[in-house]
Amino acid sequence: MKFAYRFSNLLGTVYRCGNLNFTCDGNSVISPVGNRVTVFDLKNNKSNTLPLATRYNVKCVGLSPDGRLAIIIDEGGDALLVSLACRSVLHHFHFKGSVHSVSFSPDGRKFVITKGNIAQMYHAPGTKREFNAFVLDKTYFGPYDETTCIDWTDDSRCFAVGSKDMSTWVFGAKRWDNLIYYALGGHKDAIVACFFESSSLDLYTLSQDGALCVWQCDTPPEGLRLKAPTGWRADLLQREEEEEEEGDDGEQETTIRGTATPAAGEQQGKVKYSRLAKYFFNKEGDFNNLTAAAYHRKAHLLVTGFASGIFHLHELPEFNLIHSLSVSDQRVESVAINSSGDWIALGCSGLGQLLVWEWQSESYVLKQQGHFDSMVSLAYSPDGQYIVTGGDDGKVKVWDTLNGFCFITFTEHSSGVTGVTFTATGYVIVTSSMDGTVRAFDLHRYRNFRTFTSPRPTQFSCVAVDTSGEIVSAGAQDSFEIFIWSMQTGRLLEVLSGHEGPVSALCFNPVRSVLASASWDRTVRLWDMVDSWRTTETLALTSDALAVTFRPDGAELAVATLNSQITFWDPENAVQTGSIEGRHDLKTGRKELDKVTARRSARGKAFTTVCYSADGQSILAGGMSKFVCIYHVREQILRKRFEISCNLSLDAMEEFLNRRKMTEFGNLALIDQDAGEENGVAIPLPGVRKGDMSSRHFKPEIRVTSLHFSPTGRCWAATTTEGLLIYSLDAQLLFDPFELDTSVTPRRVRAALRQQDYTRAILMAFRLNEKALLQETLESVPWDQIEVISSSLPELYVEKVLEFLASSFEVSRHLEFYLMWTQKLLMAHGQKLKARAGTLLPAIQFLQRSVQRHWDAVSKLCDWNRYSIQYALALSQQRGVKRLSEPLGSEDAADTPGDEDEDSLHLLGGGHGDGDRLLV
């Protein structure tokens, strides 16, 4: 129960590939991130990732009109039917091929997917439970190349499909007599998007070369006539209707085959299209590929994104440019517009950007970007509210764990960041980089206030700060030295020499001023910061040291080595106390280009990052594998192993290679399969020397680069190839009783409450450990009896009450009531709790984070109200007062109002002069 950590959220990456969608209310953006889907709530400023994952990267997402269901399809053609209300998977389906796009009909009864050169229409899943949620209705043939886009009419009678063969096809959702299919040409490049006009069959088509064609239909939607069956078809239809009445399901697949040039006799009495106009986005001499588009029918707004990172906003059908904006230097991969037409979402996969733009006020609603290169390190703030990450792109980002957004990015480093850490205050971040600098950033003013450098240029591989925040240390990768600086002055204090290999990790003892340094020379050295920076102990290892960390109480040291072992040491006596062999627990996969098997390549793999849990009883380890392991330190056994990803779009995911990819000519993985796509690799002709010769697709390898436990002990984070993964305890799904026996039941707890025996009721409720019952019991206690009951609680239950109070602060509105409980408990049991500070520290930090968050919110609200009242009072005093031309500081302008108003202003901390200054 204690290690029932579940996937909670995905940070560090906001958009990878696929199409963006707005929810039906227009307040949230649904963004595919790798093989997961994240929902960004723009109204409440929160983001959360759905607890599901596909086998490959998500390629397209279709949202039902009511916003309850979503169809998520990956690159392999596997589909998930997901309920967005309960955030769970309802059905799995395989479309037997790569799907390019999916779209629900406006009435929600059908949905269409484009696959290869065909379009398939399925019956949409209903509200009742079905054995097969996806039933194929019709298959439409016609395009000669891959289909790219779909759009429905408002009444769900017809839909249009665009293709790479430069044609657009209009199909009937039913067998209309005057419209079965219609092919439209007029373009010189692949169709990117097609849109119907509101309540009409008029159509807009956009091609990749930046051309827009306006098509007019001679028939309104009401003019479509159902084709009446004749002959044996009528008898068959009548028989099917009879079977349906008897309760049989007579749905069968229908195939519709269209031709681009139908016979003249077939065109008589049919729907006809004519081209009204053709517009071009690119100016003369300028060529810019159009990559994405979206259309709002009610407002007649067309949003187009281009390969250069520019998007245009036009009004149709006049094609009037409202405005254009460059949002990135990479191609705009996806565009979406919300239901009200105010917000535009733009996704750029090259840099992992997600932008939401409000075009009327010309301002950003959301502007997020993850690390466009791999993340290397992370650290939790002391209260567990913030996470700082550093990446190979040289950026340092700070993430809020409550809402999942990045609120500040530091770009001062000119090379990859190798280490990040917080000081004990939580307001200073210290980072090391390969550019030869160690920088300190202030979270109050968001600036780089210290830059530490070495006498000779060197590359820093790790960084550490002592508990006082006064000493900063960094290990060098090329000179094998450790540099010590003063945080206050920024001066170099000492250079520690002694290692004979690159310094791989540093860690300060949380209790004493002792620095542990791990190196590739198979040693760990302990340096005394007080006694002239001398080496107190040298711990000899059997292999190269990769990571080192102290237990939270400083009484134990863990070292990860290159031979996949984790060794534990007593830093006081320099004695090894235990070791864990983790080679078999890593279970590394085989890369597609590996010549050896996964079992043989595992000999060179090891744990590269280790971290103690908040209570120090367990250790978390990860490395060149898709698994993260939790070990029990004392018993030296594996407690649990987490699989951080199941995404087969990453390399080294499977233990054995797919034999279908092995041919007599070699591995098919050596060939770029998608070389002919629009954003694929451009293969030049023989002898051509222009172009990017290094351009190729590659699969990133799955790995865990850094791990960190939250100080609260409720969650842990890992920086991986997928992004920043957060795993937390889901308390709502757990039944974790404490000293339970048959006499403890909810009925007896409520009976004790009715008898006003509150202490006994609280003890029984905590033995059951059900959250709803605990809340009911604590909130039944009168406020004037809290002090007496707090002092009568046994010491064993005080910690559990504090943990429950900390979790209740997150959701409860009874702020003052729970603050009274917290104060009385700490006042009554403070001295006893201090003696067990080591074990109680996670609960106290969890409580501090909850109280701090409420304090920040309430203080901002009070300040705003105070300023608003001051402004209102000052404004009321100015009524009827003639404004003079002299400056406000002159004696003539000092008109004193009534005494009562003046006193009221003074009570609020401001005088009459303050009110005048507010009005200037």
Question: What is the per-residue pLDDT for 259?
Answer: 67
Select from 229, 55, 12, 254 the least CA-distant residue to 141: 254
> What letter would DSSP give residue 329?
S
Q: What is the mean pLDDT of each run of 10 residues along the chain (920 residues)?
A: 80 90 93 93 90 92 92 93 90 92 93 93 78 86 92 93 94 86 90 94 93 92 78 64 49 65 62 92 79 94 93 91 88 93 92 91 91 90 91 93 90 94 92 94 93 92 92 92 92 91 93 91 90 77 94 92 93 91 81 70 81 90 91 91 89 74 71 51 51 57 91 89 87 54 79 86 82 84 86 81 81 84 85 71 77 84 91 84 52 42 38 37
Question: What is the per-residue pLDDT for 221?
Answer: 87
Compute the distance between CA of residue 439 and CA of residue 490 in angstroms, rounded to an integer: 10
Compute the distance between CA of residue 401 and CA of residue 9 in angstroms, rounded to an integer: 9
**Tokens read off for 465:** 């700060």
| CB of 186 closer than 8 Å to CB of 278 | yes
Compute the distance between CA of residue 309 and CA of residue 286 in angstroms, rounded to an integer: 15
Cα separation values, 555 from 511, 548, 577, 810, 822, Å: 9, 14, 11, 33, 30
Select from 515, 398, 502, 504 the least CA-distant residue to 464: 515
Residues contacting 709, CB < 8 A, separation 6+? 380, 611, 612, 613, 614, 620, 716
3-state secondary structure (DSSP) of residue 127:
coil
DSSP string, 836-861: THHHHHHHHHHHHHHHHHHHHHHHHH
3-state secondary structure (DSSP) of residue 351:
coil
Cis before residue 317, ω within 30 degrees of 0? yes
Dihedral of CA atoms 95, 99, 103, 105 in degrees, nearest 10, equals -40
| Amino acid code (one letter) for 126 | G
Single pTM value for the model? 0.80
| Amino acid code (one letter) for 268 | Q
Residues contacting 82, CB < 8 A, separation 6+? 37, 50, 52, 69, 70, 71, 72, 88, 89, 90
| CB of 387 closer than 8 Å to CB of 370 | no
3-state secondary structure (DSSP) of residue 699:
coil
Cα separation values, 137 from 127, 174, 445, 900, Å: 18, 10, 60, 79
Compute the distance between CA of residue 589 and CA of residue 627 in angstroms, rounded to an integer: 10
DSSP string, 364-410: EEEEEE--SS-EEEEEE-TTSSEEEEEETTS-EEEEETTT--EEEEE
419-433 in b/e burial notation, b at 16+ Cβ within 10 A?
A: bbbbbeebbbbbbbb
Place of tokens 């119907």: 196
| CB of 515 closer than 8 Å to CB of 534 | no
| Amino acid code (one letter) for 16 | R
Compute the distance between CA of residue 17 and CA of residue 31 in angstroms, rounded to an integer: 9
Question: What is the per-residue pLDDT for 39?
Answer: 94
